[in-house]
Amino acid sequence: MEYLATTSFAMEGVLRNELTLLGYDVERTTPGLCLFRGDSDALIWTNASLRSAERLFLVLGRWEAKSFDALYDGVVNLPLEDILPADGRYPVNARSFKSELFSLRDIQSITKRAVVDRLGKAYKLTSLPEDGTDYPLMLRMERDEAMLLLDTSGEPLHKRGYRVSGHIAPIRENIGAALILLSRWFGKGAFIDPMCGSGTLAIEAAMIATHRPPGLERDFLFEKWGLVNPAKTQEIRELMRSRIKPPETVIQGYDKDPRAIRVARKNAATFGLDKLIHFQCRELEEFSTPLRGGTVVTNMPYGERMGNREEMIELNHLFDKTILQLDTFRLGVLSGDAWFTQGKSRKPTRVRKFYNGKIITYFYQFEPLARR
Ligand SMILES: C[S@@+](CC[C@H](N)C(=O)[O-])C[C@H]1O[C@@H](n2cnc3c(N)ncnc32)[C@H](O)[C@@H]1O
């Protein structure tokens, strides 16, 4: 079987590494996605384990389509009835990049017509009832290659299920995990988020440190389809649970806002991770640590969403005086500020630019200057 996992643009390298570590052969990596092969067990292994992924699709077919006729023929010739039942509901979405077919509405309606024609003929029905379980389809065009995809995740994979309370400007869970993995923190050495907000980065770090798959406790749309024996899925979940280990390290989250710390503790407690993370209310100005090294990953408040420009400048200055002085630490800072490094005492080793939702952001990485 062929699968397509999606993530945010610029995070595909992290996703590829995760898939390789899980033992899958990645055939293609392009911005925001990885195409790979796996058996039906991959449905639970990848949906539950991938930290940086947003969705997992099953590839029902791919072919070249430079005309709407080629698009229709490609879909109608796929043996869709092998997977799609007579009573499924088939919403169709479309995306198109650098392709001759670009009208999403037309791609959508032609794909839908071809699916209905194929299934109608296979099940000898003049119209499909579409009153059963959802089978969300996506027709993705890229460089004239059409791919018919079936969404196996349902709720996007960033929804782990631990976020019980809201907080201003939380980072998406899979992006948080990807930033930690980009910072090459794999659960060894101290981890600190000095502006932790609702605790996303610390919670993702705790799951990495304990080898806990982020989607272990949630369910996925494919489980409603009867494609995989539920006993097998349960067995794999049990195996995942048996591999959870106590952490070998220290994880800390600080914030100046006591409400944020309350929310962070509550979120961590949902997965029983509150005992593993030290959350504390503390102003960045007062930040100091006796630790001799480790990794800091944090998410600066966004100028537009939090505070005004003067406050941002003041906070940037504080950041320079405190966090950037941790010269034995590896640092990763997500900021919406293109000028974040201006006037700072240290220059980043690497800057990655990407979209966090619709907001353009920069991930500034600093390698340690000194050995501990
Ligand atoms: C963008 S939010 C972090 C969101 C977090 N990553 C999450 O997923 O919830 C930035 C956080 O920085 C905190 N903050 C702002 N100024 C601070 C300061 N001077 N000291 C400590 N925390 C501060 C805010 O209270 C806010 O919770």
d(CA 180, CA 208): 9
Enter the tokens of residue 260.
């944020």
pLDDT tens-digit map of 173-187: 999 999 999 999 999
Position 344 confidence tier, pLDDT thresholds 50, 70, 90: confident
Tell whether ligand 1 has an atom less than 6 A from the beta carbon of residue 200. Answer: yes
What is the model's pLDDT at position 372?
Answer: 63
Separation CA 206–CA 251 (nearest Å): 7
Q: What is the CATH number of domain 173-210+246-366?
A: 3.40.50.150
For residues 159 and 225, is the Cβ–Cβ distance under 8 A?
A: no
Cβ(195) – ligand 1 distance below 6 Å:
yes
Atom of ligand 1 nearest to the CA of 200: 8
What mean pLDDT value characterizes the chain?
A: 95
Task: Tell the residue number behind the tokens 């059963």, with chain if given.
Answer: 132
Q: What is the mean predicted confidence (pLDDT) over 157-177?
A: 90
Amino acid found at 307: G
What is the per-residue pLDDT across 90-112, written as a single tens digit (0 to 9) for each? 999 999 999 999 999 999 999 99
- Tell the residue nearest (CA) to atom 7 of ligand 1: 170
Cβ–ligand 1 contact at 268 (below 6 Å)? no
The phi-psi region of residue 130 (left if phi > 0; otherwise alpha if psi is between -120 and 50; otherwise beta) is left
Give me the residue spans of the domains in the chain. Answer: 2-151, 173-210+246-366
Closest atom of ligand 1 to CA, residue 311: 16
State whether the beta carbon of 259 lies less than 6 angstroms from ligand 1: no
Helix 173-182 to helix 12-22 angle (10° resolution) is 80
Give the residue ranges of DSSP H helices in the chain. 12-22, 42-49, 68-76, 104-123, 173-182, 200-209, 230-242, 258-270, 309-321
State if residue 201 touches ligand 1 by the CB under 6 angstroms criterion. Answer: yes
Question: Which is the closest atom of ligand 1 to the Cα of 171?
Answer: 8
pLDDT at 304: 55
Distance (Å, whole) CA 333 – CA 328: 16
Q: Are 278 and 250 in contact (CB under 8 A)?
A: yes
Distance in angstroms (rounded) separating the CA atoms of residues 129 and 116: 10
> Of 173, 256, 333, which is best to mutate to test ligand 1, by the most ligand atoms within 8 angstroms of its C-beta?
256
Residue 128 Cβ inside 6 Å of ligand 1? The answer reads no
Nearest CA owner, ligand 1 atom 8: 170
| Tokens 């990655």 found at | 352
Q: What is the pLDDT of residues 301-325, one digit of tens each?
A: 876 555 577 888 889 999 999 999 9
**pLDDT digit string, tens, across residues 200-231:** 999 999 999 999 999 999 999 999 999 899 99
CB 74 less than 6 A from any atom of ligand 1: no
Task: Compute the distance from residue 315 Cα to the ligand 1 centre, in Å.
Answer: 10
Residue that has been written with the tokens 């296979």 in this structure: 122
Q: Copy the structure tokens of residue 143.
A: 């460089």
- Cβ contacts of 94 within 8 Å, gap of 6 or more: 104, 105, 107, 108, 111, 138, 139, 140, 141
The residues facing 226 across adjacent strands are none
CATH architecture of 2-151: 2-Layer Sandwich (3.30)
Q: Where are the alpha helices (DSSP H) in 68-172?
A: 68-76, 104-123
The model's pTM: 0.96
CA dihedral sign, ordered 41, 45, 46, 47: positive
* Alpha carbon nearest to ligand 1 atom 25, residue: 257
Quote the percentage of the chain above a pLDDT of 90: 88
Contact present, 183 and 297 (Cβ < 8 Å): yes
Q: Is there a contact between 103 and 173 (Cβ–Cβ < 8 Å)? A: no
Token couple for 100: 């001759």
- Say yes or no: CB of residue 283 within 6 Å of ligand 1: yes
192 lines ligand 1 (CB under 6 A): no
pLDDT band at 197 (very low <50, low <70, confident <90, very high): very high
Q: Is the CB of 172 under 6 A from ligand 1?
A: no
